[in-house]
Copies of this chain bind each other. A is one copy, B any other.
Amino acid sequence: MSFIPYSHHYQRIRDQLASDIAQGASQADEKLPSEREMIERFGCTRVTLRQALQQLEAEGLVYRENRRGWFVCPSRIRYDPTRISGFMEYVSAQGRTPRTECLLAERRPAGDWLAQRMGLASADEPVFFLQRRRWIDRRPVLLEYNVLLASWCPGLLDIDLNTSLTRVLREHFARVQSRCKLEMHIGTVNEEQAELLQLSPGASSIHLERLNFGEENQIVEFDQEFWRPDALSIVMETRPPEMK
């Protein structure tokens, strides 16, 4: 008898589910059978099955909706966070259906934390605060918080924001951003964010922060983005730093 390399039960289950998906037995965004159906098929306990599913989740092959079940991941969206082009544009360009939902839009004083982050002279400086949720096809993939200097785009709140902010700024205010500073890392979502993204509490996410600069090289916007980690592939091209 030939030697068969040892592999754990959950690994074999993972492999079977992965090959089901690869062979197209399940389509993108399609729901997998219930856990109790799957443990019958694989002859294991739920603990073991869930270990296999969590592995596939980390690989970006399946995703979970809180208490709703497991689904097959669609392919990733390619996203260049250094480009000014908006979500609506690049998702459409990749043959998918984007949707933007404005959850909150208000004027408020910046406050200490933001004033420091944005280099404002006063914590009373008025800003617009937006919270938006963005979808690709059937799935919410991104929670976005925008903070804009109110003096830079007065009257922003009178405009429909369930769309591309880039375009609104360009068309209503003739505003274009020049450069930005980015920071990103892997983290988790809090309870509120989990609910909005239909994630299980404590699920992991890609956290992205951006400081945007305006025409005179002043800070005009501060963004935070929380992405479902399986939803995107981050791409960018650089040019060499210019000599001074």
Contacts and interface: CB of A to CB of B under 8 A. Distances in A.
Interface string A143-185: 0000000000000000000000000000000000011111111
Contact of A180 (B180, B187, B188, B238): B238
Contacts of A235: 181-184
A82 B238 contact: yes
Task: Indicate how many identical chains form the complex.
Answer: 2
A59 B232 CA distance: 19
A232 B47 CA distance: 31
Nearest to A240: B178
A237 interface: yes
B60 A230 contact: no
A215 B117 CA distance: 38
A63 to B, nearest CB: 12
25 contacts: A55-B188, A58-B187, A58-B188, A58-B202, A58-B203, A58-B204, A60-B185, A60-B186, A60-B187, A76-B185, A82-B236, A178-B239, A179-B239, A180-B238, A181-B235, A182-B237, A183-B233, A184-B233, A184-B234, A185-B232, A185-B233, A186-B204, A186-B229, A186-B230, A239-B239
Interface of A: 47, 55, 58-60, 76, 78, 82, 178-188, 202-204, 206, 229-230, 232-240, 242
